[in-house]
């Protein structure tokens, strides 16, 4: 059973943004509980390559804001879509000449969703057919009103950050609200940014942002794997400490509760404009759930673990409107369906999601992670209830978001 308490490294989305916004601020900012994942390290290294001073001070990271320089080498974003997309917008707005590269997975992901609006703003760039490597050239940018075809916080953030360096206002309208950390944080740091419904508008940055001290709340997407483990392994009960409970990020916890898991938010408080809470999750029988397009942005990163839960839930779980999963760190719909079939689940692949009939006694098998951290972690959790060993081809990829994953799971698995 899974028993005990756990505290998580900082939310990945807020960690990326805290480094970037500290770089735009006047003077020193201090960040505690930064994500320990290699994705956030990629953002740090890219900013350092642009001349931003970032140092460790004990467990904290201290960033001195300043002017951006052209990097001498290509910016290596590793596996990180958030680093690439947000930095494309931010550096375009700061008039930086830079080339972006990444690993094989990142190099296959669509970047036109960023390059299209940025080129409408006047950015000159070169890409490999809308993919990495991408080179951006210092350009005069003009604000636009961008109607985004996808509900993506990365697209929204990239365009808004480019707007800091554009003439006139820049606005982004999205079809469904995606995570709102960029808007929330920039408002708190003196950015001229406002939101009306699904439209966010930003004005050029005429003076640096305010420096800040921030403790990044625990990552709810990482905590989701432990909440899931605790809701399917018999007799489990876990306390998830200091987890971010931003309303645009808690879709998974709402879904888990709806499925019937035992859940109790023991304490909830506000810090730096974000809601944070301590959450108890315990095992109870689960029922199937239906997830539709409107639900997807609020739990987009949690769909691999929801698929595992669905195999243990009674009835037909249907996930639709989740075609974005096909362009994440891997084609997650394919990865989920292929691997769940190997371990005996009853799953049907759809173009925009999947259908799972449960409950099923999962068996052991060899899992292809596609080097995707969330596939690796989701199938490790499946291994807690399978009647044979689950063997991952590349377990190390969990480090992309949570290097401590296996050690913490072992500590809590009694
Ligand atoms: C992120 C946004 C999401 C999410 C990713 C992090 C962010 O991507 O999947 O892990 O920090 O803005 P999209 O908003 O592009 O779907």
Tens digit of each residue's pLDDT (9 = 90 or more) over 170-202: 999 999 999 999 999 999 999 999 999 999 999
Per-position b or e across 190-205, b if 16+ CB within 10 A of its CB: bbebebeebebbbbbb
- Percent of the chain clearing pLDDT 70 (strictly above): 100
CA distance 112 to 54: 30
**Residues designated catalytic:** 301
Atom of ligand 1 nearest to the CA of 221: 10
Assign residue 359 a region (left: φ > 0; alpha: ψ between -120 and 50; beta: otherwise).
Answer: beta
- Give the model's confidence band at 238: pLDDT under 50 very low, under 70 low, under 90 confident, else very high: very high
The mean pLDDT value of the chain amounts to 98
Is 152's C-beta closer than 6 angstroms to any atom of ligand 1? yes
CA distance 86 to 174: 16
What CATH class does 11-215 carry? alpha beta
Q: What are phi and psi of 2, to 5 degrees?
A: -100, 120
Mean pLDDT in residue range 372-395: 98
Assign residue 207 a region (left: φ > 0; alpha: ψ between -120 and 50; beta: otherwise).
Answer: beta
pLDDT in tens, 49-76: 999 999 999 999 999 999 999 999 999 9
Mean pLDDT in residue range 326-351: 98
Is 178's C-beta closer than 6 angstroms to any atom of ligand 1? yes
Residue nearest to atom 16 of ligand 1 (CA): 152
Ligand 1 centroid vs 159 CA: distance in angstroms?
14
The whole-number pLDDT of residue 268 equals 96
Helices (H), 314-390: 332-342, 373-382
Is 324's C-beta closer than 6 angstroms to any atom of ligand 1? yes
Is 153's C-beta closer than 6 angstroms to any atom of ligand 1? yes
Atom of ligand 1 nearest to the CA of 300: 9
Residues 6+ apart with CB under 8 A from 398: 373, 376, 377, 380, 405, 406
The whole-number pLDDT of residue 256 equals 98
Instruction: Using alpha carbons, select from 362, 355, 366, 357 the residue that is nearest to residue 391.
Output: 366
Tokens for 165? 């360096």
The whole-number pLDDT of residue 164 equals 98
Is 219's C-beta closer than 6 angstroms to any atom of ligand 1? no
pLDDT in tens, 273-305: 999 999 999 999 999 999 999 999 999 999 999
The whole-number pLDDT of residue 329 equals 97
Q: 220-412: CATH homologous superfamily? A: Enolpyruvate transferase domain (3.65.10.10)
The whole-number pLDDT of residue 109 equals 98
Helices (H), 216-288: 220-232, 251-259
Residues of the chain with CATH 3.65.10.10: 11-215, 220-412
pLDDT in tens, 79-113: 999 999 999 999 999 999 999 999 999 999 999 99
In 10 A of CB 271, how many CB atoms?
A: 12
Q: What is the pTM of this model?
A: 0.98
The whole-number pLDDT of residue 210 equals 98
The whole-number pLDDT of residue 46 equals 98
The whole-number pLDDT of residue 310 equals 98
The whole-number pLDDT of residue 66 equals 92
- Give the model's confidence band at 139: pLDDT under 50 very low, under 70 low, under 90 confident, else very high: very high
- Concatenated DSSP letters of 210-228: PP-EEEPPB-HHHHHHHHH
Mean pLDDT in residue range 238-251: 98
Ligand 1 centroid vs 234 CA: distance in angstroms?
33
- Is residue 221 within 8 A of residue 199, CB to CB? The reply is no
The number of residues in the chain equals: 414
CA distance 387 to 325: 28
Is 329's C-beta closer than 6 angstroms to any atom of ligand 1? no
- Is residue 77 within 8 A of residue 100, CB to CB? The reply is yes
Mean pLDDT in residue range 9-34: 98
Ligand 1 centroid vs 297 CA: distance in angstroms?
9
The whole-number pLDDT of residue 149 equals 98
- Is residue 93 within 8 A of residue 161, CB to CB? The reply is yes
Pocket test for ligand 1, best of 42, 82, 274 (most atoms within 8 A of CB): 82
Angle at 223 between CA 353 and CA 281, to 5 degrees: 95
């Amino acid at each position: 059973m899974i028993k005990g308490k756990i505290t998580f490294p900082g939310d990945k989305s807020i960690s990326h943004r805290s480094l970037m916004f500290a770089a735009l601020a006047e003077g020193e900012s201090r960040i505690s509980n930064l994500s320990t994942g290699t994705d956030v390290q990629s953002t740090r290294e890219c900013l350092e390559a642009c001349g931003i001073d970032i140092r460790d001070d004990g467990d904290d990271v201290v960033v001195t804001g300043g002017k951006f320089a052209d990097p001498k080498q290509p910016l290596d974003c590793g596996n990180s879509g958030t680093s690439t997309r947000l930095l494309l917008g931010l550096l375009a707005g700061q008039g930086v000449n830079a080339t972006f590269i990444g690993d094989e997975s990142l190099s296959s992901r669509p970047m036109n969703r960023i390059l299209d609006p940025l080129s409408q703003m006047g950015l000159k760039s070169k890409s490999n057919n809308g993919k990495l490597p991408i080179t951006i050239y210092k350009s005069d940018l003009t604000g636009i009103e961008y109607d985004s075809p996808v509900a993506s916080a990365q697209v929204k953030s990239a365009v808004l950050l480019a707007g800091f360096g554009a003439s006139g206002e820049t606005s982004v309208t999205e079809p469904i609200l995606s995570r709102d950390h960029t808007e929330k944080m920039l408002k708190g740091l003196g950015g001229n940014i406002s939101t009306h419904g699904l439209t966010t508008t930003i004005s050029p940055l005429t003076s640096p942002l305010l420096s800040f001290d921030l403790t990044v709340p625990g990552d709810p997407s990482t905590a989701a794997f432990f909440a899931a483990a605790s809701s399917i392994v018999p007799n489990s009960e876990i306390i998830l400490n200091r987890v971010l409970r931003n309303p645009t990020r808690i879709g998974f916890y709402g879904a888990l509760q709806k499925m019937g898991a035992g859940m109790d938010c023991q304490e909830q408080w506000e810090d730096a404009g974000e809601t944070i809470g301590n959450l108890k999750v315990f095992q109870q029988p689960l029922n199937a759930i239906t997830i539709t397009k409107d639900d997807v942005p609020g739990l987009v990163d949690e769909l691999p673990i929801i698929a595992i839960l669905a195999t243990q839930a009674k009835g037909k779980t249907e996930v639709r409107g989740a075609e974005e999963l096909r362009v994440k760190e891997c084609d997650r719909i394919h990865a989920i369906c292929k691997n769940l079939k190997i371990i005996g689940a009853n799953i049907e692949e759809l173009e925009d999601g999947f259908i799972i009939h449960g409950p099923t006694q999962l068996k052991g098998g060899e899992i292809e992670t596609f080097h995707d951290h969330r596939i690796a972690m989701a199938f490790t959790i499946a291994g807690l209830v399978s009647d044979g060993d689950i063997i991952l081809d590349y377990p190390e990829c969990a480090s992309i978001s949570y290097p401590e994953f296996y050690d913490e799971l072992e500590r809590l698995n009694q």
